[in-house]
Amino acid sequence: MATWHEVMFRQEWVPLGTFWSGDWRVPEDGIYAQTIGRDRLELLRKSTYSTSQVQMNKTLYDLAQNILQDAGLTEEEYYIDTELQQLPVPYAYFEPQSHREALRKVAEACLGQVYCDREGIIRIEGPSFLQSQTEPVMTITQDDYFRKDNPVKWSEIANYIEVETQPLRPDVAQEVYRSNEPISITAGQTKTITVYYNHTPCIEATATLENAVSGAEITKATYYAWGADITVTSTNTSTFTKLADPSTLPTGAGYGCAFDPTGTYLAVAHFTSPLITIYKRDGNTFTKLANPATRPTGVGRGCAFDPTGTYLAVAHTASPYITIYKRDGDTFAKFDDPSTLPTGSGYGCTFDPTGTYLAVAHSGSPYITIYKRGGDTFTKLANPSTLPTGTGNGCTFDPTGTYLAVAHGSSPYITIYKRDGDTFAKLDDPSILPNGYGNGCAFDPTGTYLAVALSTSPYITIYKRDGDTFAKLDGPSTLPTGYGYGCAFDPTGTYLVVAHWDSPYITIYKRDGDTFAKLDDPSILPTGNGYGCTFDPTGTYLAVAHGSSRYITIYKRSGDTFELVINAKPLKVLNKEKAIAKDNASITDNGMLKYTFPANSLVQTREVAQKIADTLLAYYKDPRRDVEVEWRGNPALLLGDRIAVIDKNETNEYYVTRQELEFDGALRARLSGRRA
């Protein structure tokens, strides 16, 4: 809204300014509506200004212009004194603050002034603005004022002025950011990371990748004073590198293997006594532990840890067909067999994710036996009403413990149950069945995908679950080379491994959506037919149990990760200087009265600091007799106007610093002026 005041005795309207209304008060019993008008500078107090970049070698004029344009003002809505073009700033950086505060700092750095004129224009005047006014624009006589005072402001005397420079200078290049942990990225993925520097502001930043897999590279980098947006793209296909063999190997063909949930222990079920071999991992070294005092009674075909790492179950080929150990530190002690045993050779076993249920796939009907654990006791549940149709070769729970899949030797080759309490009800068979004996199966960690290792081509079949329906996906374009025996997903669901007959004995796929693409074979392969495989819970280690010495091969994955490091030059206030201006005569008369100019990041050179000190000293070294006058008022007066005030003794000139107008049937004003 624009406000105007009519100057009496002649037809003239004087604008008071342009304002934006706030809350309105409209009392029902009143005849007036009331609001508060706020000028453009007040609006700028409520908006935020910050610079994402360090501004180098700019003048105060440039900085003021940037601030105003950032606030959305057009050139018609502001005026900047060209004198500010003569005041350079080597490095300028503004932390988040209001546009008004940023303008205040610019004006302070040159002893200028900022105000809204009567046309609503924001004006930024330079330090010489007042001195440029040599003649008064108005004279106020005794007939015009009601009261006048010229107070002597002894408290505002300052005869020793200190102005300290705040020179921002680049420090040496140094590390200003490092990712707290490795950042994961999958093949073909593009990832943008927004980072914040440990020190701000910074210039000349450079980002690099450390410990990055081959194929990961920075494809875009946008640097700011406070941080950066870094885009990384990876074409990496991951690498599985064989570790050194354990110093003590299993004694016969490995058929199954399992990591405990901490990745500390690796168990291998195998041919030849002790039939189960347990390793403890320290870094990349796997050291064989002492054999359990009581060993399985037959060839170890499969093994599984419970989710706490307390229990280890081993499926084997002689009664009791399942042997369960309880771990105490590095000791595995067998406890009593379940009262009801599987009916034939155990080939695979699995715990549900709560450690409550243990399923054993075996020969002899019912082909799957399910136990419920209570403490250290495993009690057989009632058989499912519909059983697998042939020898159970492998089994797996989904990560919720809702679904149990059993791979077996007769059509439909895979049977899937849904658990409700202690009851396992068979689901409808998938519409497309595996086309050969199911030897092993595995859910991914989301429970979305179910893989089945088969005895005939394609040797691996993958289903996608939607509710209780399992739909077969298209097979991988490159298939395993032989009879599939075991399979496993990594804990992210990104990798699927199939252990099979015929070289390379292990085939590794990487999942992208519903597509599984074969990766390059490890450079060192297992030495014989693969029978079982497992990932550790971090996805770092992959163990493969196979049929020729060394019987167990362990790989370490060079994961799809990288560390992001940024080096830059922080801007710091270095080598401060003090500019001092003093007046000895005033010090002699009044004692030393010191004033320290507030720190301003835009005052960076000694020349500017000295100019500020000299200007302040000239004005404050002696007592001032400014003016305060109540008078008839004139809305045409502007901030900084030079006026003459005449009393009965003398005439003095002043610069207007404040004028408050009141109108209650007649105009009245309170005016403050600074002695010219």
CATH of the domain at 540: 2.130.10.10
Count of residues for the chain?
676
Contacts of 591 (CB under 8 A, 6+ apart): none
* 3-state DSSP assignment of residue 565: strand
Cis peptide upstream of residue 127 (ω within 30 degrees of 0): no
If you write DSSP's letter for every residue of 479-509 in order, what string do you get? --SS-EEEEEE-TTS-EEEEEESSTTSEEEE
CB 207 within 8 A of CB 564: yes
* 3-state DSSP assignment of residue 362: strand
The reply to whether 359 falls in a domain is yes
Q: Do 616 and 649 share a domain, yes or no? A: no
The reply to whether 97 falls in a domain is yes
Burial label for 87, CB within 10 Å (0-12, 13-18, 19+), is: buried
Among 571, 604, 633, give the residue marking a domain's end.
571
Among 559, 586, 609, give the residue marking a domain's end.
559
Q: Do 328 and 464 share a domain, yes or no? A: yes
The reply to whether 91 falls in a domain is yes
Q: What is the mean pLDDT of residues 271-279?
A: 98
pLDDT of 8 higher than 50: no
Q: Do 433 and 294 share a domain, yes or no? A: yes
Q: What is the CATH number of the domain that holds 666?
A: 2.40.30.150
Q: Do 124 and 58 share a domain, yes or no? A: yes
What local confidence, expressed as pLDDT, does residue 238 receive? 67
Q: Do 220 and 286 share a domain, yes or no? A: no
For residue 563, which of 209, 190, 174, 228 has the smallest C-alpha distance? 209
Of 277-281, 315-319, 356-360, 538-542, the poorest mean pLDDT is in 538-542
The reply to whether 312 falls in a domain is yes
Q: What is the mean pLDDT of residues 383-399?
A: 98
pLDDT in tens, 586-604: 999 889 999 999 999 999 9
Q: Do 208 and 285 share a domain, yes or no? A: no
Q: Work out how many domains the chain is built from and give that number.
A: 5
What local confidence, expressed as pLDDT, does residue 560 receive? 67
Beta strands 160-164; 594-596: pairing state: parallel
Q: Do 466 and 611 share a domain, yes or no? A: no
Q: Do 494 and 532 share a domain, yes or no? A: yes
Q: What is the mean pLDDT of residues 274-287?
A: 97
Among 513, 535, 559, give the residue marking a domain's end.
559
Q: Do 543 and 590 share a domain, yes or no? A: no
Q: Of all residues in the chain, what percent are helix, strand and coil, respectively (each to 5)?
A: 10, 45, 45
Q: Do 310 and 459 share a domain, yes or no? A: yes
Q: At what angle do helices 60-70 and 99-108 cross, to 10 degrees?
A: 170
pLDDT of 6 higher than 60: no
> Domain residues for 426?
239-559
Q: Do 505 and 634 share a domain, yes or no? A: no
The reply to whether 156 falls in a domain is no
Distance between CA 112 and CA 79 in Å, rounded?
13
Q: Residue 149 corresponds to which tokens in the numbers above?
A: 């005072």
CB 188 within 8 A of CB 234: yes
The reply to whether 554 falls in a domain is yes
The reply to whether 67 falls in a domain is yes
The pTM is what? 0.59
What local confidence, expressed as pLDDT, does residue 181 receive? 85
pLDDT in tens, 189-228: 889 999 999 999 999 999 999 877 777 899 999 999 999 9
Distance between CA 440 and CA 454 in Å, rounded?
7
Burial label for 186, CB within 10 Å (0-12, 13-18, 19+), is: middle
Q: Say which residue, 34 or 318, is predicted with more confidence.
A: 318
The reply to whether 88 falls in a domain is yes
Which helix (H) or strand (E) segment holds residue 61: the answer is helix 60-70
Q: Do 497 and 631 share a domain, yes or no? A: no
What local confidence, expressed as pLDDT, does residue 33 receive? 83
Distance between CA 642 and CA 676 in Å, rounded?
8
Q: What is the mean pLDDT of residues 468-477?
A: 97
